[in-house]
Structure 1
C-alpha cells in the first residue's frame, strides 16, 4: 500500500478516506501513487515532543511533515516516484482550529493532510508570496477532492466521555507540571 494511515488516538477516523486523499493529492501533484506516504494521528503529548525535538517550539501543533526522498511535483508529464515521507496530525489541535474556523474537525484534518503533503513536496509558507501559493493550492486541492468524491465524507468523532487531552496538556504545562503527573488524583 502506498499510503499507510495509523490512528494512535481515541478519535474515530476513517483511514480509507485519508488513504484516498493522499493518493488523490499525489496524482494531482504528479507523484507516483506507488510512492510511500504515511499519515499518523497522535495525541497532544507525542506531537508536542516532536515539535520540541525538531522545531525547538513548545507545545502541541496541528501537523508536522517529515520528508524522505525530497520528491518534488512532476512536470511535463514526468511522474516522480520514491518515499514521500511522514505526516503527523493531532486531531485535538485540529478540532480546536476547526471550531475557530467554523468547519468540521474532519475538514480541518483533511486540509492538514494536504498541507503536510505539500510540505513533503517542497512547498513552504515563510513569506507572503509562498503562503498565498501554498494555501491557495491546498484549498483548491481540498475543494476539488470534495467535488469529485462520489460519497459523503465520514466525520471524525470523539467517543463520549473522552478526556480532553489538549486541555489536560495545557493545564499540566501551564502550571509547570509534567504531563506524566496526574491532575486531581486522576490515574494516567
Structure 2
C-alpha cells in the first residue's frame, strides 16, 4: 500500500474540544487511504463540530433538522478550472461517539470509517439505491481493511 496521493493537503478544524477526538494525523492517514490509487493530488478540509453546529449544517444544506455523523461538500469548481480541490467534510463528534457506543464499535475505527465514507462522497460515490450502496460499502470495507479495520457493516464492526 502506497498510502495516498502524491500530494495531499488536509486541513483539520476543531470546533470542539480535542479530548476524545482523533488527532489530525489520524484523519490525514484515513483520507490518504481513501484516496490511494484514485487521484494524484488532493486538497480538502475537515471540520469537527458539536451537535448544534452539525444540526445547523444539516438543516441549511440538506433540509434535515438534526445533527448527522458526516456531511460531504464536494468542490463546485467552474468548468475548465483544474485544481486538486476535493471539498469539505463536516464530522459531528457527539453523533460519532453515540453511534460507536450504540453499535459496540471502537470510536477511532468509527471515525476512520466515516472519514473514508465522506471522502468517497467527495470523489462522487453515493448510496442512493441498493446497487450504489453495496458498491460503496464494499469499497469502504476494502479501504478500511488496508488499515486493519474490520468490516464496519457487521454488528460490532
Q: Which TM class, normalised by the smaller chain length? A: 0.7 to 0.9
Structure with the bigger percentage of strand: 2
Q: In the TM superposition, what is the alpha-carbon distance from 1:24 to its structure 2 partner? A: 2.5
Shift, 1:69, TM fit: 4.8
Query: Among 131, 134, 146, which residue is 2:133 paired with?
Result: 131
Residue in 1 aligned with 2:39? 31
- Asked which structure has the greater CA Rg, the reply is 1
2:33, 2:143 within 8 Å by CA — same for their partners in 1? no
Deviations 1:123-143 (A, max 9, x none): 111111111111111122112
Kept after mapping to 1: 8 A contact 2:45/2:89: yes
Segments of 4+ moved more than 6 angstroms: none
Name the Cα RMSD after superposition.
Answer: 1.9
Aligned pairs for 1:155-166 (under 5 A) are none
**Equivalent residue in structure 1 for 2:28, among 8, 13, 19:** 19
| Uncovered stretches (5+) of structure 2, i.e. residues with no partner | 1-7, 150-157
TM-score, normalised to structure 2's length? 0.79
Structure 1: give runs of 5+ residues left out of the alignment.
Answer: 71-79, 148-188
Aligned length: 136
